[in-house]
Amino acid sequence: MDEYFHSVRLIKSRCKGCVSCTKRCPTEAIRIRGGKAHIIESRCIDCGECIRHCPRHAKTAVTDYLADLDQYKVNIALPAPTLYAQFSVDFSIETILHGLLELGFDEVFEVAQGAEIVSLMVKDCLNAKEVKRPAISPACPAVVRLIQVKFPELIDYLMQIDAPVELAAKLARAKYSQKYNIHADELGVWFITPCPAKMTACKQPLGREKSNITGAIAISQIYGSLLKVLPHVNEQANYNRASWVGIGWAVAGGETSAAQVENKLVVYGINHVSRLLEQVAMGNLDDIDYIETLACAGGCIGGPLTVENRFVAETRMKQRMQKLKDEYQVAGKSPLTDYHKDELGINERQAIEPRPLMLLDEDIFKAMDKVELIEKILESLPGLDCGSCGSPNCKALAEDIAQGRASETDCVFKLRERVRDLAQEMIDLTKKMPPPLEKELEELEKE
Amino acid sequence: MNTGQVINLEYELTALNFDVAGEASSKTKRVLQQIGVRTDVIRCIAISAYEAEMNVIIHSLGGIMRVVVFPDRTEITFEDRGPGIADINLAMQEGYSTAPDYVREMGFGAGMGLPNMARCADQFDIQSEVGVGTKVMMMIRH
């Protein structure tokens, strides 16, 4: 494996080398070379914007398969709450959970249960005054990586807690390795994921040495099989279930309402998130307590590996939440109010390191030279941001040229200019004659 | 290698033009990131520059922001034409503000701008003449 694992990949045969993806990428991580898109690994944050926008579906996300379950003695499914929104509310959450067992899992553990605990942790962290404001949610791994590469100065603002799925995996591991009395290596813990960013987070954890998650299987990948089994699920096993507070995390705003944060901002869509973080970087939002930042429009229900339209999904999610609320009321139950700090592995957490991609050169003097060079090159470029050169815009091309990764004639307009100048020179040259012939030419002209 | 090397940046600031407000500071921040200035220093410079840039846009009739980036420090000068500041000592007090309501509604004008800048900078100087304009200079070591 290279320095970086990425879930987002290119299917070469489908790529036509159009520039759609280069323009959508929030970190300018894609270049077209040799007629195909190339992802610059150090820049990619696995947000999946390119998957969403490729007209030829040439971008894909590598996730695990159900067949991978064979490698483990016992397999646990960790369904993201977003999974519930893929199916009509006629299928209860219990039915969906049981459907996962039919697909070959031995146990299910809702990620929403992890989310409920994380909600309480967020609340506690915000009550502890020493947390820097505005604190930024660490739940969306694409946003965390966006901060690592593009806003390294904001890393300290990320709340130092695990994402719900990591916590759920930790709890599930503890619970089922005891129940089955098996070694941790024999236990497969699989996240049913709405996005490639979470897949990458399993292989390359954020703020942890090793993830408790074995792998991730895309919702879109098991959707079909699940759809087939759901109508035949009769058993309504009694699961230890998450409340509406936890499943609400699937929709933007769910986290902050679960954590009961009043002075908050909820931002979704990776480019909107990027613009808002720029404001935070300028010290403009210091009066806000908490920012819930989500890479996908509408929150996780808008994930690139989901199936259902996000607006439909949102309505279903809200219906399911209301239903759970009613059930709790009838039963006189209330959501989780406390958690055990020691079972959460908080001390296993490591600092999230910056991965600044803006840096032009390790040597500050060379870097300063490059800044000036880029400025000069940029002035000479047409500024149309057409992307035909394979870089997302003129500025990115100027940077690529300064870094020796592209040349000025990659710009079709600059190339045309050169051809025109050369053609002019050729015309000028046709008028020139070797000295022995000059006289002859003069005579010819006289005639 | 030339140790006297600098990067000069200059931005024209237009009064009450909120369309591009903050862009000059954003661009300055980007350059500092490109040359690898420490992130906490970048944050400090970005916040001070932004405060000062907004001051010019909100309070003056327009002005200019000049940035000189040295390998070891950044110097930023803001020069505006405008009402000037009658009592600089008062303006330097935390919470003192002359910002009109519509500006406060946008989240600016809390009276923290100048004190914040002075706190962040290694060197800070402000000169003002009523009816002429204000000049703010700050130097921040990398």
Cα nearest neighbour of A288 on chain B: B107
Does A371 touch chain B if contact means CB atoms closer than 8 Å?
yes
Q: What is the pLDDT of residue B7?
A: 94
Based on the fold, state whether residues A41 and A177 are members of the same structural domain.
no
Q: What is the pLDDT of residue A284?
A: 86
Q: Measured between alpha carbons, how far is residue A220 from residues A60, A82, A101, A191, A411 in Å?
A: 12, 11, 17, 13, 39
pLDDT band at residue A204 under the 50/70/90 scheme: confident
Using CB atoms and an 8 Å cut-off, which of residues 4-23 of chain B contact chain A? 5-7, 22
A353 in any annotated domain: no
Q: What is the pLDDT of residue B111?
A: 65
Cα nearest neighbour of B117 on chain A: A283
Q: Report the pLDDT averaged over residues A61-90.
A: 95
CB burial of residue A169 (10 Å; 0-12, 13-18, 19+):
buried
Taking only the tens place, the pLDDT of each residue in A257-266 is 999 999 999 9
Asked if A359 and B5 come within 8 Å (Cβ–Cβ), the reply is no
pLDDT band at residue A2 under the 50/70/90 scheme: very low
A439 in any annotated domain: no
How many angstroms away from the CA of B53 is the closest CA of chain A? 11
Check: CB of residue A173 under 8 Å from CB of residue A212.
Answer: yes
CATH number at residue A421: 1.10.15.40
Based on the fold, state whether residues A18 and A81 are members of the same structural domain.
no
Asked if A368 and B7 come within 8 Å (Cβ–Cβ), the reply is yes
Q: What is the pLDDT of residue A191?
A: 97
Residue A412 backbone phi and psi in degrees, to 5: -60, -30
Q: What is the pLDDT of residue A446?
A: 72
d(CA A222, CA A102): 12
HEC secondary structure over chain B = CCCCCCEEEEEEECCCCCCCCCHHHHHHHHHHHHCCCCHHHHHHHHHHHHHHHHHHHHHCCCEEEEEEECCCEEEEEEEEECCCCCCHHHHCCCCCCCCCHHHHHCCCCCCCHHHHHHHHCCEEEEEEECCCEEEEEEEEEC
Q: Mean pLDDT for chain A?
A: 92
How many angstroms away from the CA of A362 is the closest CA of chain B? 7
Taking only the tens place, the pLDDT of each residue in A408-444 is 999 999 999 999 999 999 999 988 877 777 766 667 6
Asked if B46 and A282 come within 8 Å (Cβ–Cβ), the reply is yes
Based on the fold, state whether residues A388 and A294 are members of the same structural domain.
no
Probe site for chain A from B25, B27, B34 (most A CB atoms < 10 A): B34
* CATH architecture of residue range(s) B7-141: 2-Layer Sandwich (3.30)
Buried b (16+ CB within 10 A) or exposed e, A329-359: eeeeeebeeebeeeebbeeebeebebbbbbe
A445 in any annotated domain: no
Predicted TM-score (pTM) of the model is 0.90
Does A351 touch chain B if contact means CB atoms closer than 8 Å?
no
Based on the fold, state whether residues A252 and A342 are members of the same structural domain.
yes
Based on the fold, state whether residues A267 and A375 are members of the same structural domain.
no
Q: What is the pLDDT of residue B32?
A: 95
Probe site for chain B from A279, A368, A370, A379 (most B CB atoms < 10 A): A368
pLDDT band at residue A340 under the 50/70/90 scheme: confident
How many angstroms away from the CA of B35 is the closest CA of chain A? 5
Cα nearest neighbour of B108 on chain A: A284
Q: What is the pLDDT of residue B92?
A: 83
Residue carrying the six token digits 């195909």:
A36
Cα nearest neighbour of B37 on chain A: A364
Q: What is the pLDDT of residue B119?
A: 85
Using CB atoms and an 8 Å cut-off, which of residues 47-106 of chain B contact chain A? 47, 50-51, 69, 71
Is residue A8 scored above 80 in pLDDT? yes
How many angstroms away from the CA of A150 is the closest CA of chain B? 9
> How many folded domains does chain A comprise?
3
Which range (A13-27, A51-65, A236-250, A309-323) has the least confidence? A236-250
How many angstroms away from the CA of B74 is the closest CA of chain A? 13
A435 in any annotated domain: no
Q: Report the pLDDT averaged over residues A258-276.
A: 95
Q: Strand pairing of A290-294 and A135-136? A: parallel
Based on the fold, state whether residues A293 and A394 are members of the same structural domain.
no
Asked if B47 and A362 come within 8 Å (Cβ–Cβ), the reply is no
d(CA A165, CA A76): 13
A355 in any annotated domain: no
Higher pLDDT residue, A4 or A23? A23
- CB < 8 Å to B107, chain A: 284, 287
A20 in any annotated domain: yes
Is residue B2 scored above 60 in pLDDT? no
Asked if B51 and A354 come within 8 Å (Cβ–Cβ), the reply is no
Based on the fold, state whether residues A38 and A97 are members of the same structural domain.
no
Does A373 touch chain B if contact means CB atoms closer than 8 Å?
no
Range of the domain at A411: 364-430
Does A353 touch chain B if contact means CB atoms closer than 8 Å?
no
Is residue A1 scored above 50 in pLDDT? no
Does B29 touch chain A if contact means CB atoms closer than 8 Å?
yes
d(CA A101, CA A96): 9
ipTM: 0.83
A with B: how many residue pairs have Cβ under 8 Å apart? 71
Taking only the tens place, the pLDDT of each residue in A120-179 is 999 999 998 778 899 999 999 999 999 999 999 999 999 989 999 999 999 999 999 999
Looking at the DSSP assignment, which residues form a beta bridge with residue A268?
A294
Is residue B1 scored above 50 in pLDDT? no
Based on the fold, state whether residues A287 and A409 are members of the same structural domain.
no
Is residue A237 scored above 80 in pLDDT? no
Nearest Cα to Cα of residue A119 among A159, A79, A77, A83: A159
Which range (A231-235, A329-333, B48-52) has the least confidence? A231-235
Nearest Cα to Cα of residue A25 among A271, A201, A267, A194: A271
CATH number at residue A185: 3.40.50.1780
d(CA B119, CA B68): 20
Residue carrying the six token digits 């309501």:
B101
Cα nearest neighbour of B73 on chain A: A364
Closest partner residue to B39 among A153, A279, A367, by Cβ?
A: A153
pLDDT band at residue A354 under the 50/70/90 scheme: confident
Contact partners, residue A13, CB within 8 Å, separation at least 6: none
Based on the fold, state whether residues A242 and A289 are members of the same structural domain.
yes
The percentage of residues in chain A with a pLDDT greater than 90, rounded to a whole number, is 78
Q: Which amino acid is at A90?
A: D
Contact partners, residue A21, CB within 8 Å, separation at least 6: A30, A37, A49, A50, A53, A54, A59
Based on the fold, state whether residues A81 and A200 are members of the same structural domain.
yes
Taking only the tens place, the pLDDT of each residue in A281-299 is 998 898 899 999 999 999 9
Check: CB of residue A301 under 8 Å from CB of residue A194.
Answer: yes
- CB < 8 Å to A356, chain B: 33, 36, 39
